[in-house]
Amino acid sequence: MPKSKNMFVCSSCGASYSKWLGQCTGCGEWETLIEQGPAPDVKNTLTIASKTGSILPVENIYNKGSGVNAEVSRLSSGFSDLDLVLGGGILPGSVTLLAGQPGIGKSTLLLQIANQIAKSAPVLYVSGEESAPQVRARAVRLAPKNTGSKSTADVVTLDFASSNSTNDIAQTIASGKYKFVIVDSVQTLTVAEIPSAPGSVSQVANSGNILIRASKAANCALILVGHVTKEGTLAGPKTLEHMVDVVLNFEGDRYGGFKTIRASKNRFGATSELAIFEMGGQGLQEVKNPSAALLAERQNVDGSIIFASIDGTRPLLVEIQALVNPTNFGYPKRTASGFDLNRLNLLIAVLEQRTRLTFADKDIFLNVVGGIRISDAAADLAVCLAIASAAANRKLADDLVAFGEVGLGGEIRSVHAADKRISEAKKLGFSAAIAPHTVKSSFAKPAQDLTAVLNTYLH
């Protein structure tokens, strides 16, 4: 019999090759082919089931004595903002993938969620990375202060298992004993029939597939923890993101500051909502008034402006800071924290072309305070004002907020949810907002052209 050969599988898209290549021809990524052992021998046969599957009218799926329009009750995570990100809570039978950099607080958050759900439903916490004493120590630390107990028996009612076997975990889920299961993490799991190492493309994809099928069959909510690469993308095959129902991204500075959770995929709700947390001695705590917290330490200097943003349906005021210095090298440096660097370069080009400012010999540094990342196009006007203020060494008024999209012609374009932005600014005591001229409000200072705005507020 011919000897079976090892295959080279792309860790990005899952394409397989008989020999190593520098670039994957499937997705175009470089240095992503990983050598794996031969796949198990499977007969190339096609069989047809002897009977059809279970077919039900849609209107009768949830009609079990509660009326035709009965809805499935969701599990609350204990965090109102996180429930909003999930679309109203954790749906039974759903599979959620939580990804974040090491040390940001994924295990802490999940243990807090598990403790909350365990009060009303049986919960299993499976860890392939930590031992039972490690998890117990964290459970004691995260125990509510009013218990005054050092024993997890008084404050924690969930079950724990330390396992790396996908087959064993799937069998436990399929038993139907648990309504909520956490697996930390999918990169540590192995399927007995696959000879490759844990974390490989085949192991991650097959482990995810087996666990998803078991959770759907048992109507058990499942959360899988995923690792991220040094570029910040989810490690493993892309097919894992397609298989799960919800993909949550846990972002922020692991050493301090605010941490955010947003959904990049959600079959049960919107992907525009945002939950903001802060790490404390009792674990992660929701930030109920993030705008006030972000502006609490503001010092009004040149290069500082308040931007009224919208994350999902929530208005949020954040401070944008800019610093402009003479460059010491032939090529000026552009650095952005919390803002897209390509967008920053575009706005700098608009400022140079449409105003009298020149930045060819200037380094420009932009920072969004609090570790918040902004993807709202309405931040353009605030960024331009911050850069121009820093370049001219002139302060902007402390009681101003700004929002508006800047076009390549220097025009200020309208943005969505202007009324929510203005309402949040009023609530925090600001007196005016530099906004697109299409905004009809006495609170808004109309802005139609970028040059006119700079001449008005920087002279």
SS (H, E, C) the chain: CCCCCCEEEECCCCCEECCCCCECCCCCCECCEEEECCCCCCCCCCCCCCCCCCCCCHHHCCCCCCCCCCCCCCECCCCHHHHHHCCCCECCCCEEEEEECCCCCHHHHHHHHHHHHCCCCCEEEEECCCCHHHHHHHHHHCCCHHHCCCCHHHHCCCEEEECCEHHHHHHHHHCCCCCEEEEECHHHCECCCCCCCCCCHHHHHHHHHHHHHHHHHHCCEEEEEECECCCCCECCCCHHHHHCCEEEEEEECCCCCEEEEEEEEECCCCCCCEEEEEEECCEEEECCCHHHHHHCCCCCCCCEEEEEEEECCEEEEEEEEEEEEECCCCCCCEEEECCCHHHHHHHHHHHHHHCCCCCCCEEEEEEECCCCCCCCHHHHHHHHHHHHHHHHCCCCCCCEEECCEECCCCEEECCCCHHHHHHHHHHCCCCEEEEECCCCCCCEEEECEHHHHHHHHCC
How far is the C-alpha of 233 from the C-alpha of 99, rounded, in Å?
9
pLDDT averaged over the chain?
Answer: 86
**283-286 and 180-184: which strand pairing?**
unpaired
How many other C-beta atoms are found inside a 10 Å radius of the C-beta of residue 23?
A: 13
For the cut 80, the answer to whether the pLDDT of residue 257 exceeds it is: no
Of 157-161, 222-226, 304-308, which range is least confident?
157-161
Q: CA neighbours within 13 Å on the CB side: how many for 174?
A: 11
Of 100-114, 139-153, 281-295, 303-317, which range is least confident?
139-153
**Phi-psi map region of 231: left, alpha, beta (phi>0 left; psi -120 to 50 alpha):** alpha
**Considering the entire predicted model, what is its pTM?**
0.75
- Position 443 scores a pLDDT of 93
Cβ contact 361:326 at 8 Å: yes
For the cut 90, the answer to whether the pLDDT of residue 335 exceeds it is: yes
Per-residue confidence at 144, pLDDT binned at 50, 70, 90? low
Per-residue confidence at 135, pLDDT binned at 50, 70, 90? confident
- Position 444 scores a pLDDT of 93
φ and ψ of 248, to 5 deg: -105, 135
Average pLDDT (200-223) is 92
- List pLDDT tens digits, range 384-413: 999 999 999 999 999 999 999 999 999 999
Amino acid letter, 310: I
Per-residue confidence at 73, pLDDT binned at 50, 70, 90? confident
- Position 64 scores a pLDDT of 46
Per-residue confidence at 16, pLDDT binned at 50, 70, 90? confident
For the cut 70, the answer to whether the pLDDT of residue 291 exceeds it is: yes
For the cut 50, the answer to whether the pLDDT of residue 1 exceeds it is: no
Closest by CA to 112, choosing from 257, 261, 293, is 261
Q: How far apart are the first and last CA of the chain?
A: 85
Which residues lie below 8 Å from residue 328, measured CB to CB, with a gap of 6+?
none
Cβ contact 329:298 at 8 Å: no
How far is the C-alpha of 211 from the C-alpha of 209, rounded, in Å?
6
Burial 278-292 (b: 16+ CB within 10 A, else e): bbeeebbeebeebbe
- List pLDDT tens digits, range 403-446: 999 999 999 999 999 999 999 999 999 999 999 999 989 999 99
For the cut 60, the answer to whether the pLDDT of residue 68 exceeds it is: no
Tokens 């552009």 locate to: 334
226-230, 237-241, 243-247, range with greatest mean pLDDT: 243-247
- Position 30 scores a pLDDT of 86
Who wins on pLDDT, 72 or 295? Answer: 295
- Position 197 scores a pLDDT of 81
- Give the total residue count for the chain: 459
Average pLDDT (263-277) is 88
Cβ contact 419:315 at 8 Å: no
Closest by CA to 412, choosing from 447, 456, 439, 375, is 447
